[in-house]
Amino acid sequence: MHICSHSFPSILHSQFLEMGVFIVAAIFFMQIYITGAKVPAVIVFGDSSVDAGNNNQLQTVLKSNFRPYGRDFFGGKATGRFSNGRVPPDFISESYGLRPYVPAYLDPAYNISDFATGVCFASAGTGYDNVTSDVLSVIPLWREVEYYKDYQSKLRAHLGIEKANTVISEAVYLISMGTNDFLENYYSLPNRKSQYNVTQYQNFLANIAEWLIKDLYTLGARKISLGGLPPMGCLPLERTTSFFTGNGDTCKDEYNKVALVFNQKLNGLVERLNDELSGAKVVFSNPYAIFQQIVRKPSTFGFETAAVACCATGFFEMGYMCDQYNPFTCSDASKFVFWDSFHPTEKTNRIISQHLFKTVLSKFSS
Ligand SMILES: *[C@@H]1O[C@H](CO)[C@@H](O)[C@H](O)[C@H]1NC(C)=O
Ligand SMILES: *[C@@H]1O[C@H](CO)[C@@H](O)[C@H](O)[C@H]1NC(C)=O
Ligand SMILES: *[C@@H]1O[C@H](CO)[C@@H](O)[C@H](O)[C@H]1NC(C)=O
């Protein structure tokens, strides 16, 4: 202000002064508010629904770091994401104003400076149950958490303790797994089925989810999203199986019901943990309803089909069976809900992520 204050009567002077103090204070508090609300990083635990390429570094058959995987990703790069492009954490990170992708912790192309704003510990083929990760020799959940502890030490060394602790407590933690526990493990192998009926198995898995959230809380996490299961009976692989067992070209109802009941249990768990864990905000990110709508009426969302996948014949292939020499792979993945027989296309991932961000996850930044 260029006006000389002494040329005003003193009452006006003091009003100006007060207003000035008020404005300075307002700006100051606004900055605190904005800084406090900002999400500094997205940290991911889970399976192939969110893996950004950790499996590339493992001795497992469950990989996707080759074409046509990633053909619609930045630079057309096959990163190890099980899709033609991005997976949900990538879109969610972008929605928080962070990088438009979340790199994998084991990817040698990135280091702690990159991971300071987002990191993915997920591993395709894993689950809540240790037995699930053993099926295809992938990273068990407990080891994802060990990697996370290792990350915390590196982050503290890199940013200093105070700054690192702020990142740890203000970051959003995304947890997404469970489909493999049922489809790859419980319904495919005799071990767990001989020990638990499906209700007991659901409870067993939900208890592990509870352990995970409490463990992350103890380690400093405060903004946690627990992901629900999709209508897993509608994955093309399950539809194909259903077709060959005489059910016609429909979703496998039994699996969808199991997913719905499991989601109810997770939702109850989230409500309970919000009471128990003081200072924490735990949310349930449930993709079921929107996914079900997409599968039932793909045309409403601009898709041509949800019954078969883009890759190869679309009935059963994924991973190495879905390679660039397969002549049947579609040319435009955006017409398909599913990319391979088990995983959505980038377009489906985008729709679901935007829906979850709008309805649930945006709360973490306001
Ligand atoms: C991370 O890698 C970048 C280049 O890729 C390099 O400039 C930076 O110094 C590295 N940071 C650390 C902490 O190693
Ligand atoms: C999974 O394995 C880890 C490491 O052996 C163990 O600490 C953990 O208790 C196991 N989890 C369950 C639910 O058995
Ligand atoms: C599973 O076992 C429990 C305990 O034995 C029993 O109460 C429950 O009815 C069973 N559930 C199913 C779906 O069979």
Residue 37: predicted pLDDT = 59
Active-site residue, selected from the candidate residues 129, 242, 341, 343: 343
6 is catalytic: no
What pLDDT does residue 323 have? Answer: 83
What backbone torsions phi and psi does residue 169 show, to the nearest 5 degrees? -85, -25
Cα–Cα distance, 240 to 249 (Å, whole number): 7
Told to judge if 365 belongs to the known catalytic residues of this protein, a careful annotator would answer: no
pLDDT in tens, the chain (366 residues): 444 444 444 444 555 455 555 555 554 444 444 444 589 999 999 999 999 999 999 999 999 999 999 999 999 999 999 999 999 999 999 999 999 999 999 999 999 999 999 999 999 999 999 999 999 999 999 999 999 999 999 999 999 999 999 999 999 999 999 999 999 999 999 999 999 999 999 999 999 999 999 999 999 999 999 999 999 999 888 887 766 564 555 899 999 999 999 999 999 999 999 999 999 999 999 999 999 999 999 999 999 999 889 998 777 788 878 988 888 899 999 999 999 989 999 999 999 999 999 999 999 997
Ligand 2: distance of its center to the CA of 328 in Å?
42
The alpha carbon of 289 and the centre of ligand 2 are apart by a number of angstroms equal to 32
Residue 212, ligand 2, Cβ within 6 A: no
User: Which ligand is nearest to the Cα of residue 155, counting in written order?
Assistant: 1
Instruction: Give the pLDDT score at 28.
Output: 46
pLDDT tens string 128-141: 999 999 999 999 99
Q: What spacing in Å lies between the alpha carbon of 196 and ligand 3's midpoint?
A: 9
Question: CA distances (Å), 269 to each of 132, 213, 274, in order?
Answer: 22, 10, 9
Which atom of ligand 2 lies at the shortest distance from residue 208's CA? 13
Global model pTM greater than 0.85: yes
Residue whose CA is at the smallest distance from ligand 2 atom 4: 142
* CB of 208 closer than 6 angstroms to any ligand 2 atom: yes
Burial class (CB in 10 A: 0-12, 13-18, 19+), 299: exposed
pLDDT confidence of residue 8: 43
At 242 the pLDDT is 67
Is 114 annotated as catalytic? no
- Looking up tokens 């406090």, which residue turns up? 36
In this structure, which residue's CA is closest to atom 12 in ligand 2?
Answer: 130
Which ligand places an atom closest to the C-alpha of 112? 1
Determine the pLDDT at residue 36. 46
Ligand 1 pocket residue status of 278, Cβ below 6 Å: no
Ligand nearest to the CA of 199: 3
Write out pLDDT tens, residues 84-97. 999 999 999 999 99
Domains of the chain: 40-231+254-288 (3.40.50)
